Amino acid sequence: MIEVLRSLGRWGLDTFQRLGRGHIFLMQMLAGMPSLAFRFSLVVQQLFYVGVLSVLIILISGLFVGMVLGLQGYNTLVDFGAEESLGVLVSLSLVRELGPVVSALLFAGRAGSALTAEIGLMKSTEQLSGMEMMAVDPMRRIIAPRFLAGLISMPLLAAIFSAVGIFGAFLVGHGLLGVDDGAFWSQMQAKTDWYEDILNGVIKSIVFGFVVTWIALFEGYDATPTSEGVGRATTRTVVHSAFAILGLDFVLTALMFGDI
Amino acid sequence: MNSKRSAEILVGLFVAAGIAALFVLAMKVSNLGDFTDDKGYEVVANFQNIGGLKPRSPVTMAGVRVGRVSSISLDPDTYDAKVTINIYPQYDNIPMDTSASIFTAGLLGEQYISLSPGADDFFLQDGDIIDLTQPAVVLEQVIGQFLYSTAEGE
Amino acid sequence: MAPLIKIRDLHFNRGDKVIFNGVDIDIYRGKVTAIMGPSGTGKTTLLKLIGGQLKPDRGSVEIDGQNVHKLSHSKLYELRKRMGMLFQSGALLTDINVFENVAFPLREHTKLPESMIHDLVLMKLQAVGLRNARNMMPAELSGGMARRVALARAVTLDPMMIMYDEPFTGQDPISMGTLVNLIRRLNDAMGLTSIIVSHDVAETTQIADEIYLLSGGKVVEKGTPETLKTSGSDWVKQFLQGLPDGPVPFHYPGNDFGKDLLNSEEKR
């Protein structure tokens, strides 16, 4: 019994310690941001790895998610004779929810895990240590540009996802199922609000980008410097990111759309 | 150096595509496009009950969209809803004695204001008030009245 | 002459394990000082303490009159510009080629024109004999070559001192010989102060001016290679000659073998 309590206590302390380390890491990371103003080429380089390389998966997933939404939405709406509202249904679900959330989940799987693996590998091969000894702060040289790149990429990826998704739904709805294209677009435009819906979706995706990139970089930086440790850290990145995205999504949705 | 250049070009394309997607969402998907021709004139209509009318709800005349609701507030003296309507500038010949009603699009659809033109020679101008209004029909009230009258008839 | 590095009463624990328990070391300018000891005595930890990557529990490390662990972040980084360190793995940046690796400190810390960087890098690579390998990626290098590239990188900023972490481990005889020569030659040609952490007795005694033997968290013996060879201590003799048994027993301490065999508890 005492043993159980003791291990529970130790687990609790470890968790708080990690939480504390994570936040100290965040502070150090943010402290490294101003120096990026002089070295923006580092950020551009990371935008390539973090952003550009995620575009393909975002494009394909967005297209299919939109097409499925078009199909499913049509089947439900046609019962009420409201198939013209397909555009609204699709645009609101994508812009408010699916765009930010699904693209953040994909981003965590594609870019987040790659970041963790890269940083973890740099740690285990003493590259970070070596940089410190060359008087180059890895927080500024390695971590900060990746963080900023993640922060910039995420909303852009989410916007691409939503736009492609709506296009996919239009292909299915208009091309396959024969929904009137005028009604599709006009209803969508009438009911989708720039501030209420689209900007809130953008804010969500910025928050997700912040959290996912932070988790990914911290897990890499904090990984046990062995190949096993890096592997575990990569898994943790994906799992923790998914929890964080879905949990935060609820909180943000309640703040933005629910009148709580 | 060459691969660096192509990476930078791809990053540029990526950022441009992202911003383009946001632009499409703004102009094609949302009603932000409406704001560009926002230079219309505003008139006020007081309703006893506006039901589910919201800012940016459509305002139509003979089914054609002629403007939108720009704001809704409560008149502190009469306890009526004070609805400010923005009418697009090209519709500058709406008669003074036009009446406004709140209708529902379909049985469960959103609510909108419908204007029916009068026969006055003067036209509505910025800041004018529409006097003839008909409040929103609240479904529960209608059902309640119907049940009440059938119960009385028995 | 005052020592360049002065370590006094150094205490360091990792968890419950005591790594250093009162270590005093002086490292003099222009000399090659070796720090030796069996695996697990915290030799690498010592280098990290000197470099300011770890903080001691007690005691001080002074480099050129500055207490490393009392410096601010920016002062510490200023100091590190004058220190070179050669990691066991080389710690080359894997995403850029040999040339860029050696150019890395120059690009980070100086605003030299590209042509000058080019010349400087080639000079350093020439010194380690790898000028023609400049377009290779770190993954294509052998272990010995990677270490030489790392050495070239460690001296690009012309540091006052350089620390070698196990430079001889896992090298074939030829690259071992190359490295041994290189360390001594660089030290003398560039007026460096070198610290070698190693447990390779033969190679280290070849080039070291002074040797510190560490064991059990303390300095067991110090002196020139010659004085150590004639040392009376059994432990020093066992370590230098590589005897399988002696003060450091072959068997991990614990129960008696006979007792273990007769002990029936574990068999069940």
ipTM score of complex: 0.79
Say if the Cβ atoms of B14 and A188 lie within 8 Å. Answer: no
Q: Give the C-alpha distances (Å, rounded to integers) separating A127 from A32, A146, B115, C50, C90.
A: 19, 16, 72, 18, 9
Cβ proximity of C197 and C164 under 8 Å: yes
The pLDDT, as a whole number, for residue B108 is 62
More confident of the two residues A11 and C242: A11
Which residue from C77, C88, C89 is facing A135, i.e. has the nearest CB? C77
Which residue from B8, B19, B31 is facing A190, i.e. has the nearest CB? B31
Which residues, numbered 131 to 150 in chain A, qualify as contacts with chain C under a Cβ-Cβ cut-off of 8 Å?
131-137, 141
Q: How many A/C residue pairs have CB atoms within 8 Å?
A: 52
- Burial class of C174 by CB neighbour count within 10 A (0 to 12, 13 to 18, 19+): exposed
How confident is the prediction for chain B on average, in pLDDT? 82
Model pLDDT for residues A51-67, shown as the tens digit of each residue: 999 999 999 999 999 99
How confident is the prediction for chain A on average, in pLDDT? 90
Say if the Cβ atoms of B21 and A192 lie within 8 Å. Answer: no
Model pLDDT for residues C162-218, shown as the tens digit of each residue: 998 888 887 788 888 888 888 888 888 888 899 999 888 888 888 888 888 888 888
Contacts of C84 in chain A (CB under 8 A): 133
Q: Does B9 touch chain A (CB under 8 A)?
A: no
The pLDDT, as a whole number, for residue C265 is 63
Q: Give the C-alpha distances (Å, rounded to integers) separating A36 from A43, B80, C74.
A: 8, 57, 17
Which residues, numbered 181 to 240 in chain A, qualify as contacts with chain B under a Cβ-Cβ cut-off of 8 Å?
185, 188-194, 197-198, 202
Q: How far is A212 from chain B (nearest CA, A)?
A: 19
The pLDDT, as a whole number, for residue A71 is 92
Instruction: Using CB atoms, list chains with 3+ pairs below 8 Å to chain A.
Output: B, C
Q: Does A129 touch chain C (CB under 8 A)?
A: yes
Over 70: is that where the pLDDT of B33 sits?
no
AA identity, residue B118: G
What residues form DSSP beta bridges with C20?
C12
How does strand C58-63 pair with strand C66-67?
antiparallel
The pLDDT, as a whole number, for residue B36 is 47
Q: How far is Cα C121 from Cα C127, in angstroms, rounded to an integer?
A: 10
Which residue from A52, A91, A193 is facing B11, i.e. has the nearest CB? A52
Over 60: is that where the pLDDT of C268 sits?
no
Q: Does B1 touch chain A (CB under 8 A)?
A: no
Cβ proximity of A159 and C122 under 8 Å: no
Q: How far is C38 from chain A (nearest CA, A)?
A: 22
Within chain B, strands assigned E span: 41-47, 58-61, 64-74, 81-87, 99-104, 111-116, 129-130, 133-134
Q: Which domains does chain C have, with CATH numbers?
A: 5-82+159-262 (3.40.50.300), 94-158 (no CATH)
Q: Does B11 touch chain A (CB under 8 A)?
A: yes
Lowest mean pLDDT among A144-148, A154-158, A201-205, C258-262: C258-262
Percent of chain C past pLDDT 70, that is, above it, reads 98
Within chain A, strands assigned E span: none
More confident of the two residues A154 and A39: A154
The pLDDT, as a whole number, for residue A47 is 92
Which residues, numbered 164 to 223 in chain C, qualify as contacts with chain A under a Cβ-Cβ cut-off of 8 Å?
none
Model pLDDT for residues A159-197, shown as the tens digit of each residue: 999 999 999 999 999 888 888 877 788 778 877 888 788
Over 80: is that where the pLDDT of C65 sits?
yes
Give the residue on A whose Cα is nearest the Cα of C107. A136
The pLDDT, as a whole number, for residue A211 is 95
The pLDDT, as a whole number, for residue B34 is 57
Lowest mean pLDDT among A140-144, B52-56, C118-122, C148-152: B52-56
Model pLDDT for residues C3-46, shown as the tens digit of each residue: 888 888 888 888 788 888 888 888 888 889 999 888 778 888 88
Q: How far is B142 from chain A (nearest CA, A)?
A: 22
Counting DSSP H helices and E strands in chain C, the numbers are: 10, 10
How does strand C32-36 pair with strand C210-215?
parallel
Q: Does B29 touch chain A (CB under 8 A)?
A: yes
Q: Give the C-alpha distances (Å, rounded to integers) separating B95 from A98, B42, B90, B118.
A: 46, 14, 14, 6
Model pLDDT for residues A83-136, shown as the tens digit of each residue: 778 888 899 899 989 999 999 999 999 999 999 999 999 999 889 988 888 888
Q: How far is B15 from chain A (nearest CA, A)?
A: 7
Confidence at A151, pLDDT banded by 50, 70, 90: very high
Say if the Cβ atoms of A129 and C105 lie within 8 Å. Answer: no
